[in-house]
Structure 1
Amino acid sequence: MREPRAIPTQTRTDHSTARSPRAFETTLAEPAPDVFEATPEDLADTDVAPTLKRRGRFWRNLALWTGGTLVSLGLGLAADRLIRDLFAAYDWLGWFGLGVLGVFIAALSVLTIRELIGLARLRTMDRLRDKAASALIADDLPAAQAIVADLDGLYAHRADLARARTGLKSDAASILDGAELILTAERTLMAPLDARARALTASSARRVALVTAVAPRALIDIAFVVFESFRLARNLADLYGARPGFFGFIRLMGAIVAHLAVTGGLVLTDGVVEQLIGHGVAAKLSARLGEGVLNGLMTVRVGIAAIKLVRPLPFAARTSPVVSDFVADLGKVAATK
């Protein structure tokens, strides 16, 4: 019996080479580039979409600039009208008002200059910290020497750091390694400042815990926590040499809130308090005293964030403070209470 076979009904007229099945293609597709390991030059050739800039910031700045210009023009016209009215009433009153206006403008100019200097000091801290981190990674000796020179100029007026600055100068002359020079600067200059910063943070946390424990109203607790957090951030900024003005301090508090949002807020339950302070002490804590300990730990978080933001050098040779470092002080407050 003949085997069945297929007989084409039409003659094949296309003599082109038949395409090989896709499953047996020999040319393999190149793997997609890993954007986490690629360099910036490699990323320019990939199909990864670039990060879009926030366009709302331009309109916000434009609105603030135009609004401020209108307010300034309105104040100028109001002052001009006031001086004209004073001159129309009495000449001596007009001259007196004109002199007061001149003193006001001079004082406002001085305050503006001080605010700009305070903002510049905060930017200097950020710039020094970023440069120090880069010098540590790259082991760049010239960059490290420039950073040490900037630190010496930053603390030149500080009598409490005179011995530390002298010791750093003598040690820096014999150090030929960039990373080691940054570490030596941190151990020499930052050690006394870090000790005082920890003391300030612990003192603020103790005050918050005590006031919360004895305050009769929750509104008083909130007001004192906010006040103490602001004062702690201001004291830490002055300690490390930032000394921001009003607007610089507002910028610093915004950076602290952003830092806390990124690192995670402090949310502690009663079980966590028992683990940190101890089962015996936690069992004796009243509800108000437990709230005081929690508010104290929240103040500690604010202090740690402020230290990391106003410190001119990153934590490399020294250990960064953590919340558990201050639990013993709060435990003493709970035990004495």
Structure 2
Amino acid sequence: MSPPPKAPPPGTRRGPVLLELDEAPRPDSRPPRSETVLDDLQSPADAPQIDVSDAPVPQPRTMQMVTRLVGRPPSRLTRLFLNAGAALFVFLLGVMALDFIDGLLTRMPLLGWIAVALFALFTLAALGMALREWRAWRRIAQIDGLQRQAGAALAADSLDQARAVTDGLVALYARRADMEWQRQRLAERRAETFDAQTLLTLAEAELLAGLDQQARREIEAAARTVAATTALVPLAFADVAAALAANLRMIRRMAEIYGGRAGAVGGWRLARTVMTHLIATGAVAAGDDLIHTVAGGGILAKLSRRFGEGLVNGALTARVGIAAMEVCRPLPFLAQPRPKVGNLVTRGLRGLFGTDDKG
């Protein structure tokens, strides 16, 4: 029998007592961690994309055909064949007309002289049309020359060259009564500028800002026409003909707005110049991005294939219009905002549904 524990002396504090118990470990109530569950879970990057359709993206077949028709330059042999054939046809037609008039003068002098007068009148009209075409193309060449001079003035920062470009712009629009107020404002404020960049920016703001708004309206109307024609006309090649006519008319209007005059032959040559500029700037190579951005990819094609093609064709028409602005505009875009395809197509479609803002 063990002796009882001794009592602590008075005045000392009693410390805690530690008791060691040999207890079994408590079982963990949580289930064991399963590595297979975590391994089977997918990361957010592996999740399927939202609103992705397997439907084919609408392709701008109409505008692709228009681009091939207008932008493809004929070969030298083709040009020689066409020019020689046209010259031969005009020569034979003239010889036949002269032979007919000579015989008519011998048999019936009065009718012969009437035929001579009509032939002379037709010849004068043909010469007048040729002169008009030459003057129209020379005016477009004048605008192209102003573009090059403006680029050289900005590169050299030459105030004298910028003044020469400004004088050329004023002379280009000297006969337009609707720009009298703009010319007066430019004349009043041009003395305040002391460098080429400021002077050309002032000329752009005073003379070209209003013309840019008119050009945007024409592009929106052409894009609206092409989009509606592609979506609503089911006839083969009818949409191609309508898109070709709308684009040619738009390019002619661009030249007229900015001071050029495009006749029948000049309008076709200007259209080829615009298509060449479109290819040179790489806008045609960015067509896939345009399709996915504007047309909404396969979702729009799933809703309506024809409407998707119409929207993409309208967007490409807007891109052609922007290229026509860059070709026909006497100055590059300096301070004025460059038009964007998305904005033009949006406003054009708003006009299609009758909600376009006319302000």
Give the TM bin, normalised by the shorter chain.
Answer: 0.7 to 0.9
Of residues 113, 116, 140, the one that matches 2:134 is 116
What CA deviation, in whole Å up to 9, does each residue of 1:57-115 have, x standing for no partner?
7x998888776665554444323212111112201011111111111111111111111
The change in CA–CA distance for 1:95 and 1:214 in structure 2 (over 3 A counts) is same
Change (3 A) 1:200 1:219: same
Q: How does 1:224-303 map to 2 (within 5 A)?
A: 224-262=242-280, 263-265=282-284, 273=291, 275-276=293-294, 282=300, 285-303=303-321
Cα shift at 1:186: 0.9
The change in CA–CA distance for 1:330 and 1:291 in structure 2 (over 3 A counts) is farther
Q: Does 1:194 align with 2:251?
A: no
1:185 alignment partner AA: A
Q: What amino acid is the match of 1:236?
A: M
* Deviates further, 253-262 or 60-69: 60-69
How far residue 318 of structure 1 moved from its aligned partner, in angstroms, is: 2.0
What SS class does the counterpart of residue 248 from structure 1 fall into?
helix
CA offsets, 1:272-297, max 9 Å, x none? 65643669984884111111101101
Larger radius of gyration: 2
Measured in 2, the distance between the counterparts of 1:322 and 1:65 equals 40
Of structures 1 and 2, the one with the larger relative CO (CA 8 A, separation 6+) is 2
Provide the rounded CA distance (Å) in 2 between the counterparts of 1:69 and 1:204: 36
**What's 1:166 paired with?**
184
1:221 aligns with 2:239: yes
Deviates more, 1:78-87 or 1:115-124: 78-87
Q: 1:244: how far off?
A: 1.5
Q: Distance in 2 between matches of 1:283 and 1:139?
A: 50
In the aligned structure 1, how far is the partner of 2:85 from the partner of 2:236? 38
Question: What does residue range 1-337 of structure 1 map to in structure 2 within 5 Å?
Answer: 73-262=91-280, 263-265=282-284, 273=291, 275-276=293-294, 282=300, 285-329=303-347, 332=350
The separation in 2 between residues aligned to 1:268 and 1:125, in whole angstroms, is 29
Distance in 2, matches of 1:206 and 1:231, equals 13
TM-superposed deviation, 1:176: 2.3
Question: How much has 1:211 moved relative to structure 2?
Answer: 2.3
User: Would the alpha carbon gap of residues 288 and 78 (structure 1) be closer, same or farther in structure 2, given more than 3 Å must change?
Assistant: same
| C-alpha displacement of 1:307 | 0.6
What's the TM-score, normalizing by structure 1? 0.74
Which range is displaced more, 124-133 or 216-225?
A: 216-225
Determine helix, strand or coil for the equivalent of 1:319. coil
Q: How far apart, CA to CA, are the structure 2 residues paired with 1:218 and 1:267?
A: 27
- Report the aligned-residue RMSD: 3.1
Deviation per residue, 1:204-229 (Å, 9 max, x gap): 21222122222222422212111111
Quick one: distance in 2 between partners of 1:247 and 1:160? 28
- Structure 1, gaps ≥5 residues long: 1-55
Distance 2:183 2:195 in 1: 19
Residue type at the aligned position of 1:199: R
| 1:109/1:260 CA distance change after superposition, 3 Å | same
CA offset at residue 145 of structure 1?
Answer: 1.4
Identity fraction in percent: 35
Q: Is the 8 A contact 1:281 1:335 kept in 2?
A: no
Q: Distance in 2 between the 1:184 and 1:177 partners?
A: 11
Deviations 1:242-285 (A, max 9, x none): 1122221111011012122222327756x965643669984884
**Counterparts of 2:78 and 2:297, CA distance in 1:** 52
Distance, in Å, in 2 between the alignment partners of 1:74 and 1:277 is: 53
- State the aligned residue count: 280
